[in-house]
Structure 1
Amino acid sequence: MLTAFTNGTIYTGAQVITGKTLLTEQGKIQALVNPAEVPSEATIVDCNGHIIAPGLLDLQIYGGGGYLFSAHPSPEALNAMAQALVKSGTTGFLLTLATDTMEVFHECIRIVRNNPHPAVLGMHLEGPYINPVKKGAHTLELIKRPERAELESLLTAAGGIVKMITVAPEMCDPAILRWLDAQGVILSAGHSNATFNEAMEGFRNGIRAVTHLFNAMSPLQHRDTGLPGATFRDNSVYASIIADNIHVDDNALIISKKVLGDRLFLITDAVEANNTGASLHVAQEDRFTRPDGTLSGSRLTLMRAVQRCVQYAGIPLDEALRMATVYPATLMGIKDRGRIEPGCRADLVVFDHQYTVKNVYIAGAQQ
Structure 2
Amino acid sequence: MSADLAISPEKSYALVNFKPLTGDPEQSSFDTIIIENGRISAIGKAEDIAGDHQGTDSLKKVDIGGLTLSPGFIDLQLNGCGGVLFNSDISTNTLDIMHETNLRSGCTAFLPTLITSSDEDIRQAVKVTREYMARHPDRVPGIHLEGPYLNPQRKGIHDQDFIRTPSCAMIDFFCDNADVIAMVTLAPEVCPEGTIEKLSKAGIIVSIGHTNATCEQAKAAEQAGATFATHLHNAMSPLGSREPGVVGAVFDSHALGAGIIADGLHLSWENLRIAHRLMQDRLVLVTDATTPAGTDMETFVFAGQTIYHKDGKCSNADGTLAGSVLTMIAAVANSVRAGIEPQAVIRMATVNAAKAIHVESQMGSIAVGQFANLAIFDDNFTLLGTVSGGELKLQK
TM-score by length of 2: 0.88
Are the aligned partners of 1:168 and 1:193 in contact in 2 as well (CA < 8 Å)?
A: yes
Are the aligned partners of 2:22 and 2:346 in contact in 1 as well (CA < 8 Å)?
A: no
Q: Deviations over 1:95-124 (max 9, x none)?
A: 001111112222222222233434112110
Are the aligned partners of 2:171 and 2:195 in contact in 1 as well (CA < 8 Å)?
A: no
Are the aligned partners of 1:99 and 1:127 in contact in 2 as well (CA < 8 Å)?
A: yes
Query: Partners in 2 of 1:219 and 1:277 — Cα distance?
Result: 25
Q: Deviations over 1:147-194 (max 9, x none)?
A: 2222223554x4621110001111112311100111111000011111
Determine the structure 1 residue equivalent to 2:252.
233
Q: Secondary structure at the match of 2:322?
A: strand
Where do residues 307-326 of structure 1 align in structure 2 (5 Å cutoff)?
A: 307-312=333-338, 314-326=339-351
Query: Partners in 2 of 1:260 and 1:352 — Cα distance?
Result: 28
Q: Secondary structure at the match of 1:281?
A: strand
Are the aligned partners of 2:145 and 2:185 in contact in 1 as well (CA < 8 Å)?
A: yes
Query: Partners in 1 of 2:388 and 2:305 — Cα distance?
Result: 31
1:44 aligns with 2:70: no
1:186 aligns with 2:205: yes
Matched AA of 1:319: A
* Further displaced range: 274-283 or 184-193: 274-283
For structure 1, list consecutive stretches of 5 or more residues without a partner in the other structure.
none
Are the aligned partners of 1:170 and 1:192 in contact in 2 as well (CA < 8 Å)?
A: yes
Q: Deviations over 1:297-340 (max 9, x none)?
A: 1111011101011012x111111010010101111111121001
Q: Deviations over 1:26-70 (max 9, x none)?
A: 222233333445531121111111111111000001001210111
Determine the structure 2 residue equivalent to 1:6.
16
Q: Secondary structure at the match of 1:166?
A: strand
* Further displaced range: 186-195 or 172-181: 172-181
What is the alpha-carbon root mean square deviation over aligned residues?
1.8
1:293 aligns with 2:301: no
Determine the structure 2 residue equivalent to 1:137.
157
Are the aligned partners of 1:268 and 1:301 in contact in 2 as well (CA < 8 Å)?
A: yes
Query: Partners in 1 of 2:23 and 2:229 — Cα distance?
Result: 23
Are the aligned partners of 1:131 and 1:192 in contact in 2 as well (CA < 8 Å)?
A: yes
Q: Secondary structure at the match of 2:15?
A: strand
Q: Secondary structure at the match of 2:319?
A: coil
1:57 aligns with 2:70: no
Q: How far apart are residue 146 of structure 1 and its match?
A: 1.5
Query: Partners in 2 of 1:185 and 1:33 — Cα distance?
Result: 36
Are the aligned partners of 1:100 and 1:278 in contact in 2 as well (CA < 8 Å)?
A: no
Are the aligned partners of 1:138 and 1:279 in contact in 2 as well (CA < 8 Å)?
A: no
Match of 1:76 among 82, 86, 93: 93
Determine the structure 2 residue equivalent to 1:151.
171
Query: Partners in 1 of 2:271 and 2:302 — Cα distance?
Result: 34
Determine the structure 2 residue equivalent to 1:161.
180
Determine the structure 2 residue equivalent to 1:302.
328
Query: Partners in 2 of 1:215 and 1:159 — Cα distance?
Result: 26
Determine the structure 2 residue equivalent to 1:283.
309
Instruction: Indicate the percent of aligned positions where both proteins have the same amino acid.
Output: 35
Query: Partners in 2 of 1:175 and 1:159 — Cα distance?
Result: 17
Q: 1:95 to 1:23 in 2, by over 3 A?
A: same
Runs of 4+ in 1 over 4 A off after TM superposition: 16-19
Determine the structure 2 residue equivalent to 1:345.
371
Count the aligned residue pairs: 365
1:31 aligns with 2:42: yes
Determine the structure 2 residue equivalent to 1:330.
355
Q: Secondary structure at the match of 2:108?
A: strand
Query: Partners in 2 of 1:233 and 1:225 — Cα distance?
Result: 9
Q: 1:24 to 1:75 in 2, by over 3 A?
A: closer
Q: Secondary structure at the match of 1:58?
A: strand
Q: How far apart are residue 94 of structure 1 and its match?
A: 0.3
Query: Partners in 1 of 2:30 and 2:167 — Cα distance?
Result: 56
Matched AA of 1:93: F
Where do residues 205-220 of structure 1 align in structure 2 (5 Å cutoff)?
A: 205-220=224-239
Q: Deviations over 1:236-271 (max 9, x none)?
A: 110110001100100000111111111111000001
Are the aligned partners of 1:8 and 1:18 in contact in 2 as well (CA < 8 Å)?
A: no
Query: Partners in 2 of 1:98 and 1:139 — Cα distance?
Result: 9
Q: 1:247 to 1:136 in 2, by over 3 A?
A: same
* Further displaced range: 236-245 or 355-364: 355-364
Q: How far apart are residue 219 of structure 1 and its match?
A: 1.2
